Amino acid sequence: MKFTAKELAEVLKGTVEGDPQASASTFAKIEHGKPGQLCFFANPKYEQYVYTSKASILLVNKDFTPKQPVTPTLVRVENAYSALADLLDYVKAQGKSYRRHRGRCRIALSAKIGRKVWIGDFVTVGKKAVIGDGTRISDNVTIGDNVRIGEKCIIYPGVHIFADTVIGDRTILHAGCIIGDDGFGNAPQPDGSWKKIEHVGNVVIGNDVEVGSNTCIDKAPMESTVIADGVRIDNLCQIAHNVVVGKNTAMAAQTGIAGSAVIGENCILAGQVGIVGHIKIADRTTVGAKSGVIGNVRKSGEVLFGTPAITHKTYLKAYAKFKAAGEE
């Protein structure tokens, strides 16, 4: 898609500084910008590239004051980083087409498909499933019986959504993720064997959630595993049965949360964090990479690190002593 600086400013409610007819058709990092490309500048550490970039259009914050001459046409917005996300959404929307492809799909007669729903090849939609308006379902997706998917969702290839799952509006499920499979529930028997615990609950995912590739969210044996509005889950994460993840919490790759843990709102879990089951973590908790949380976190706003996880300040003090002892 090709757009001018003037058109860009209208979409993003910004202003143009330079040639309003300057045009771009591709995107690039600011350090790689060439004619015909759009770049953005939001992080002060990259300011040096503002003055060397050859990009046609540069998206910048409204209050940015150049210290040297700038080649690209500037489009000034309130927040360049946020505006870039809006622009990418706009560009993607322009390229959308819609179809209801039944030829190579299996769609139950009792399923309800909304308006302008795009369905790829080899998709299975179960009995009494409901898919909201404007949702896009890619190839090789399985949607079980009684699943409800909201409006304007994006379901990428190879996603499997098991029966009774509920998904809100504008949620994105990336390739290969599995939503609503059985949790890891087994009862020990007197002879040392294990008896599988049947899971009859479901998974409930809110609005504006994004789930990364090959992430698994298990259904509950009873009631629901809940992912609240605005949650961001990276690739290769494991969310066990009956877990509750609060609004706007984000977790990086390979994070694992054991059964019945409750994660507060606006938490950040870095890569490879492990959280044991049946604990509660307060709102706005940050857990550093490869940390293991084994007990309740009652105070909101804590920064934790280590295994078992302790406050970051305490961890640094302990680490200094460990390091000193090792050098003796």
Tell me, what CATH number does 201's domain have?
A: 2.160.10.10
Catalytic residue numbers read: 241
Residue 142 φ then ψ, to 5°: -115, 125
Say how many domains are in the chain.
2
Range of the domain at 264: 159-315
Q: β-strand 178-181 against 186-188: which pairing, if any?
A: unpaired
H/E element holding 74? Answer: strand 73-77
Provide the pLDDT for residue 94. 65
Q: Say if 105 falls within a structural domain.
A: no
Q: Say if 117 falls within a structural domain.
A: no
Q: Say if 144 falls within a structural domain.
A: no
Going by pLDDT thresholds of 50, 70 and 90, the confidence category of residue 128 is very high
Q: Say if 151 falls within a structural domain.
A: no
Q: Say if 127 falls within a structural domain.
A: no
298's tokens = 């009652």
Same domain, 172 and 259: yes
Same domain, 307 and 165: yes
134's tokens = 């404007």
Nearest residue to 256 (alpha-carbon basis) of 228, 287, 230, 285: 287
Q: Say if 140 falls within a structural domain.
A: no
Same domain, 86 and 179: no
Model pLDDT for residues 19-58, shown as the tens digit of each residue: 999 999 888 889 999 999 999 998 889 999 999 999 999 9
Range 297-322 average pLDDT: 89
Which of 94, 113, 131 lies at the terminal end of a domain, its last residue?
Answer: 94
Range 161-187 average pLDDT: 96
Provide the pLDDT for residue 38. 93
Same domain, 193 and 306: yes
CATH number of the domain residue 15 falls in: 3.40.1390.10
Cβ-based neighbour number of residue 26 at 10 Å: 12
pLDDT reading at 131 higher than 80: yes
